[in-house]
Chain A
Amino acid sequence: MSGLAISTSGLVHIYRSQGHDVAALSGIGISVRPGELVGLLGPSGAGKSTLLQLCGGLLTPSAGRLQIGEHNVATMTEAELDRMRAGDVGIVLQGAARNLVPYLTPEDNVRYAQGAAPRDRTLPSPAEVLELVGLSNQARTPLGSLTPGQIQLCAVAVGIATFPGLLLADEPTSQLDHHARDEVLAAISTINATTGTTVLLITHDPEVAEVLPRTITIRDGRIASEGRAGEEFAVVATDGSLPLPPHVAELLPPGTLVRVTTADNGDVRLTPVEQEGQA
C-alpha cells in the first residue's frame, strides 16, 4: 500500500476531567504528503502524543478536521476506526513492551498483529516484515531474550505488520543507546523508503530530529515551527497567525504592539511600537 496523506485543519482536542478542561491541541493545521517522513518535536505536554493518538483514531477530535488518506477521522465510527487501524494505520506506542504480547515470539507478534486485517488485503509474511526491520534471525526468539533495541525493532515490525499507509511512532528511539537508536531509525527510514509508508514519529532527541527530512515543532498545542533539512522555519497558520520563534518571543513580551512592515525586497519587518517611541 502506498503512503497516506495527513491533513488537519483547526484541530482541537480537549481533555475533560473533573473540575477543569485542558486543551491539548488548540487548532493545529498540518499537511503531510503521502510517503513523507515527519518528526514531531516539542516539549513535554505540548500535545505531540495527543496529535499522534488522534491520527491513530485512539482519541476523537473535539473540533476541527483530521483527514488520513481517505479517512475523515473525526466522523468515523468505532468499527471504521478499527478497520483503519487493522490495515491502513500502524501505531508504535512509547515503551516497546507495550506494543507486544509478552508470551509470543517476534514472528508470532507480527502474525498476531495481522489477525484483524481485512481478508481482501494482501499481507506480507511475518518473515518479510521482520526482514525489513532486521530481525530475521530473531524471528522465533522469546521476547525476554532480545536486547532493548531488538524489542523496539520488534515493536516497529508489529506496527508495520500489514504494511500500513501510515506509521505513527511515539518516541521509538527513547531509552535506547546510540547504536540501537540508529538501528531503529534506519529501520524506520528503510520502511519509509521501501514501502512508501508515511511516517509520523515523535522524538525528543535533537540528533534524531537532525536526520529527519521534515520536523514539526508543537508548543502549547499549536504549531510552533517546522524544520526542513536542519533549518527551522516559523509557520503561518491558516488564520494568518504566526508563532514567534522562542528567541524572538523573548524580545517581544505578550502585549507588545508590533508594527509589521514589508520591505521592497519582500522582507517582513516587525517593529515594537514602544521601541519606536523611545527612539
Chain B
Amino acid sequence: MFLRRALSYRRSQALVLAGVSLLIGTCATFAPWFSRAVEQTVTTETLSNQYLSASWQVEAKPPNSVGASTPKQPEDLTQLIPADLKPLFTPPAYGLSVDVLWGLRGRDREISTKVIWRDGYCAQLVIVQGRCPQAAGEVVASIVDEKSYDAKPGAVLDATSDNYAGGGSLKVVGLYRPVDQNAPYWFGRGPIGRSGPATAKTPATSDYLLTVRETFNTGVWGYRSTMDTRPIPGVATADHLERIKAVTNQVDGNAAEQELEAQNSTGLDGLIDTIQAERKQATTIIPLVMVQVALFGVVVLALALGAVVDQRRPEVAVARLRGSSARRTGRSLFIELGAAVLIGTLAGIVTGFGLLMIVRATWLNDGAPLEFPWTVPAALAVAAVVGLAVVAWSVRAVVRQPISTLLRRVAPRRRGRAIGMIDLSIIVLASAGLVAALTGGGRGPLPVLTPTLLALAVGLTFAHLLLPAAGLVSRQALGNGRVGLALGALQVSRRPAVTRIVAVVAVATALVSFAGQASSVAGHNREVRAGYETGADGILLMKFLDLGDFTRAIDKIDPDRHWFTPVVFGRPPSPDALRTLMIEPDSFQRIAFRGDQLTDAEGFQQLKAPTGLGPIDLRSDRLQVTATPGKMTPVLPRSASGEAPPPQPPAKSVIIEANVVSLRNGARYLVRFDPMPLVTGKTFILSTSIDCLGGCRLLRLGIGRDVNDSSGVRGEIAISKLGTPRQPSLALGKAADWKPIPQLGGDLGSLATKDGPAGGLTLDVTSLSAEQFVQYGTVPPTMPALVTPEYSVDESTSTPGVDGGAMLIQKIDRLRGPANRYSEKTAVVDLETVRRLGGSLDSGSTDFQLWLNADGLANLDKITKGLADAGVTASLVDKQSDRTDSYGRSASSLALQLTPVVGVAGWSLAIIVLLLMVVTSWRSRAQDYASLRLTGVPVGTTGRAARWEQTGPVALATLLGTACGIVGAQIALPLIPLFAETLQASPIPLELSTNWTVALVLWLIGTLVLTTTTLLLGTGVNRRAQYTRIREELS
C-alpha cells in the first residue's frame, strides 16, 4: 500500500539489502556465464593455437595401377564433410601432390621432393625471380634449390614419380620463397625451406616444386589428391565438439564406403578430448569459487535483514496495534524488504553480464561468443528464491513476537551466554559438513566448501567463547586500572552482535585466504609443471654427427657452463622401452629446472663417471700385444637340459680383442688381433692396424674365438705388453681396475683379470665361443642410472646409448624428483660416462640439446652463432615461459583468475557487515559512552573503548579466518583440478603446500583494512557520544 514511500524512507537500508542481493545475483549469474565463456575460450584458443592438430588432412591415394582408374579429384573428398558441419569448417583447401625424384636435364634423377598444386598457391609465395606457373609443365622452384642445384628459371627438370610409373619434364619459370611457410593456408603441407645434397646417411632433397593443376593431367604421375579443412575457431563452439569428434572418427570409414581410398590425418579427436577435460575443470572450479562467495553473501544478507527487520519493530507494533494479523503484517514487511532484495538480485544479471564483458575483453581475449545459457536464468532464479526465503525467515522471526515485546524500545535479548539455537545449528551443520567433506573421499560438493564451513563453525564457536572471555578481561583490566580496555571488553561481553561480526569476518578472511592459496598454489604448480616439462628455461635442439663434435663445439662456446647444460637424449625404437637422458650432473644441477633436486648428493656422486683412474691413451695406426697362453684345459658347456654335450675337438686358439674409443669422433672400435695358438708357455707378439692416429682410449680387453675354432677352453692368457710402436707397453693398471662385463643368457663363459706379469695383465679365461670382455675402471661395467619410478628395473634392463645400442644399467635408487622434460620411462645417466664408453652416433635416435638458463636465453644469439660456426643449425624448440603462458590459458588458470574477485567480495562483505552493525548500534553505544562521560570518565578513555570494542574481536577473527582458510585450502586444494585430466596421471607431483608468504600478506592486508574500518567507526561513535544523546529515544 505504501511500499514506495516505505522504501524511500529507509533508502539506505534498502540500498544495503539491494547491494548485498546484487552481489549474490552477480555471483549467481556470472558463475555460469563465466564458466561457459571459459569453456568457449578454451575451445576457440585450442582450435586456433593447435590448428594443425585440429585439421582434417584428407589424402586420397592414387590408383594401384595405371589405367585401373583415374585418381580421385580433391573435390570428391568434400563429400566426407557432413552438411551440418560444413558451416563449422573452413572452406576446403584442395591440393594435388606427387613424390618425385628429379634431376636437371642430362643428370641423374636423384633429388627427392614433392611436386604440388594447391588452390591459390601463388598468393602465398613471393616470386623473387621469373613468374608463377601458368601452363602445364611449368613449376616454380625454391630459392634454396637454386643455390643447391642451380634450378633457376629456364632450367628443365626431368622428374619421375616416386613409387609410380609415370613422370615427365618440368620447366622452371620462377623462383619462390613462401610468404609464411607455417601459415594455416598450407595446413602443414607447405614448402620446407630446405634442400641439400646427399650424405652418407640421407639422400639428396629439395624444397617443393609448385605447379598448376593441369601439370598433373599431362602425364601419368599417380598423384594424390588432398583436401584440408579445420573447424573455424569461434564458429565451432563447445557444443559442437561431440558431433565433430564423432564425425572425425567416421571419416576413414566413410571414405572406404564411398570408395574414395582416402585417409584422414588428424589429431582433432585427441584435441577434443583435451578440450573436454579443460571444460570439466572450468565447470568444477568456477562454481566452487563463486558458490562460496554467494553463500557468504546469503549469510551477510541474513545478518543485514536481521538488523533491518529489528529496526522495523515499531512499525510492526503499530500495525499489530491496529489489528493487523501477524501474517498480514509479515506480508507487508516481506513485500517491502523482498522488493529490495528481488530488485538487487535481478539487477545482478546486468552486473554479471557487465563483469562478463570485462573479463571477456581482458582475460578471455574475446575468445568466447556472447551467449545466454539456460544456467544463467536458472541460477538467477535460485538466487532470487534463496534471497526471498531469507527475507521470509527474517520477517517471520519478528512479526511472530508478541505485541508487548514489539512495543519495547529495545528488543529483549536472551540473558546469559547460552548459545542460541540458530548459532548452535549452524555450528553443528557446518561441523557435520566438514566431517562429511573430510571422510567423503573428495566426492560431492561439500569438500570444496570446506574453508567456509570451517570458518563458520570455528568463527561462531570462537565468538561465543569471546563473550565470557571479554568479561573476564574487562574485570581484570578494571582491577589493573586500565579503564579504556575494561570498557571496551565490557562492551564486547554485553553485545551478542559481536558474535555475528566475528563469524562474518572469520568467514570473509577465510575465503580471501583460501582464494589466495588457491591462486598462488595453482600458479606455482603451473610454473613447476612448465619447468619440469620444458627441462630448463629454454631448449636448443641441434643435429651433430658425433658426440666429439658436440663436446668440442659447446666447450668452445661456454666451457664453464654458465649458460647451458648439454643433454643428449637417446630414443629406443620401441615406445615402451627405456629412454636415455644423458646429462652433465654438475651443470645440470645449476642449469636445469630444479636440477639439484633430481637426486641427492650421493645420487649425483654415484651417477658421475669414476675418478681416480687415468685413461689409457694411445695414438697410432697399429696396436700390438705380447701374450703368453698358460695351461689350457677343455671345457664342455652343459646343455640347456643339463645333459653333457657331445665331445668337441680341443680348442686351438683364442683371439685377443680390444675396444678403443676414438678421441676424434667418440666412436668405439673393436680391435681384433690374429688368432693366438694355445701353445702353453709360448709368447706371441701380435699386431693389428687401428684408426687411432687422432688418439684413442683403451676401454676393454677381451677374448674372442674364431668361428671354426669355438670349443670350450679354460686357462690363463698372460699379456705382458700392450702398446703401439711408439708406446710398446701401455700401463694397464692393476687387475682390480678391470671388471668383467656381465653377460646375459645362460653360461657363456667368463673373463677375469689377475695381476702380473710385470707391467701386464693376466686374463683368466673360460671361453665357450662367445666374446668375453673386461672393462677398464674409467667406465663402470653397467651404467649407473636414475630410473623413473614407473619403470621396473632388473639386471637385464638396458637403455640406448648414443650408438643406439643397449647399455646395461644399474639402478641408483635415489631419484628424488621427476626427470626433467622426459618424466616417464627414462634412465638418467652421466654424459661423461657415455662419452667414455663411446659409440658411433645413431643420429636417427639421438638428439643433441642444450638446456639454457635465463642467461643462456639472454645470450641465445651468441650460442647459436657459436654453433653455426661449428656448422650446426640450432633451433630454440621449447621455452619454459611459453609453457607457463600456455598453462596460463588453461581452463583451470582462467577459472582461478576469479580469486581476486573473491578477495574483494569477501572483504567488501565484511566491511558492509561492520558498517551495518555500527549503523544499527551506534546510537545505543554513543549513549553508553555519553553516560560514562557523565560519570567522569575522560573522553580519551571512552574513545579507546569505542575504538577497541570491535577492533580487538575483528583482529582476532581475521587471524582465525586466515588460519581456517589455510587449513581449508589444504583440504580443498587437492580436489581442485589444476590441470586437465589425462588418462595417465602426470609423474610431476602437485605441490600443494601452503604459500606462507601469500597467507601472511593477505592476513596483514585483511587486518589492516578491517581494523582500520573498525577504528574509524569507533572514533565516529565516540564523537557522537554527546550528553544530548542520552535524551534520545532508543527506537
Contacts and interface: CB of A to CB of B under 8 A. Distances in A.
Interface of A: 18, 53, 56, 58-59, 78-79, 82-87, 91, 93, 95, 97-104, 108, 112-117, 158, 161
B325 A85 contact: no
Where chain B touches its partner, the secondary structure class is helix
B325 A116 contact: yes
Nearest to A158: B322
Interface stretch (B2-10, B557-565, B984-992): B2-10
Contact of B328 (A59, A91, A104, A116): A116
Contact of A101 (B318, B320, B323, B1035): B318
A82 B323 contact: yes
Contacts of A56: 321
B2 A103 contact: yes
23 contacts: A56-B321, A58-B321, A59-B404, A78-B326, A83-B323, A86-B322, A93-B407, A98-B314, A99-B318, A99-B321, A101-B315, A102-B315, A103-B2, A103-B6, A103-B9, A104-B2, A112-B2, A113-B322, A115-B322, A115-B324, A116-B319, A116-B324, A161-B322
B403 interface: yes
Contacts of A102: 9, 315
B869 interface: no
B644 interface: no
Contacts of B326: 78
A104 B5 contact: yes
Interface in B391-446: 402-404, 407, 415
A58 B325 contact: no
A84 B2 contact: no
Interface string B1-37: 1100110110000000000000000000000000000
Given A78-B325, A99-B321, 5 more contacts: A58-B402, A98-B407, A102-B315, A103-B2, A116-B319
B978 interface: no
A56 B9 CA distance: 30
A86 B324 CA distance: 7
A94 to B, nearest CB: 10
B317 interface: yes
B358 to A, nearest CB: 38
> Sorted from nearest, which 6 A-B pairs have the closest CB atoms?
A86-B323, A103-B9, A85-B323, A116-B324, A116-B323, A113-B322
Interface of B: 1-2, 5-6, 8-9, 314-315, 317-326, 328, 402-404, 407, 415, 1033, 1035
B251 to A, nearest CB: 72
B322 A98 contact: no
Contact of B323 (A87, A99, A100, A108): A87
Contacts of B322: 85-86, 112-116, 158, 161
A93 B406 CA distance: 13
Contacts of A101: 2, 315, 318
A93 B314 CA distance: 12
A58 B324 contact: no
A108 B324 contact: no
A91 B404 CA distance: 13
B820 to A, nearest CB: 72
B1035 A98 contact: yes
Most buried by B among A82, A86, A100: A82
A26 to B, nearest CB: 19
A100 B324 contact: no
A85 B403 CA distance: 12
Contacts of B319: 112, 116
A158 B404 CA distance: 19
Contacts of A97: 1033
Contacts of B415: 18
- Most chain B CB within 10 A, of A53, A84, A104, A116, is at A116
A119 B632 CA distance: 132
A87 to B, nearest CB: 7
A82 B1033 contact: no
A207 B315 CA distance: 33
Nearest to A89: B323
A114 B318 CA distance: 12
A227 B757 CA distance: 148
A1 B566 CA distance: 108
Contacts of B328: 116
A58 B404 contact: yes
A163 to B, nearest CB: 13
Given A58-B404, A100-B318, A84 B8 contact: no
B318 A98 contact: yes
A205 to B, nearest CB: 21
A98 B404 CA distance: 13
Contacts of B404: 53, 58-59
A9 to B, nearest CB: 23
Nearest to A17: B415
A91 B1033 CA distance: 21
A58 B403 contact: yes
B8 A103 contact: yes
Nearest to B315: A101
Given A79-B325, A82-B323, A112 B1 contact: yes
Contacts of B1035: 98
B810 to A, nearest CB: 83
Contact of B321 (A83, A87, A91, A104): A91
A33 B364 CA distance: 82
A79 B407 CA distance: 19
A256 B26 CA distance: 80
Contacts of A87: 323
A115 B1 contact: yes
Contact of A82 (B1, B5, B325, B402): B325
Contacts of A78: 325-326
A125 B888 CA distance: 72
A85 B321 contact: yes
Contacts of A116: 319, 322-325, 328
A8 to B, nearest CB: 18
Contacts of A115: 1, 322, 324
Contacts of B9: 102-103
A98 B317 contact: yes
Contacts of B325: 78-79, 82, 116
A102 B314 CA distance: 10
A82 to B, nearest CB: 5
A213 to B, nearest CB: 27
B974 to A, nearest CB: 51
A103 to B, nearest CB: 4
Contacts of A100: 318
A101 B325 CA distance: 17
B418 to A, nearest CB: 12
A84 B407 contact: no
A148 B669 CA distance: 118
B790 to A, nearest CB: 71
A99 B402 CA distance: 17
A216 B637 CA distance: 136
B323 to A, nearest CB: 2
Contacts of B8: 103
Q: Which of B9, B322, B403, B415 counts the most chain A CB atoms within 10 A? A: B322
Contact of B407 (A58, A108, A113, A117): A58
Contacts of A161: 322
Contacts of B5: 103-104
A83 to B, nearest CB: 7
A87 B317 CA distance: 17
Contacts of A83: 323
A109 to B, nearest CB: 9
Nearest to A117: B323
A93 B321 contact: yes
Contacts of A59: 404
A95 B314 CA distance: 12
A278 B1 CA distance: 76
Contacts of A113: 322
Residue among A83, A104, A112, A158 with most chain B CB within 10 A:
A112
A146 to B, nearest CB: 16
B409 to A, nearest CB: 9
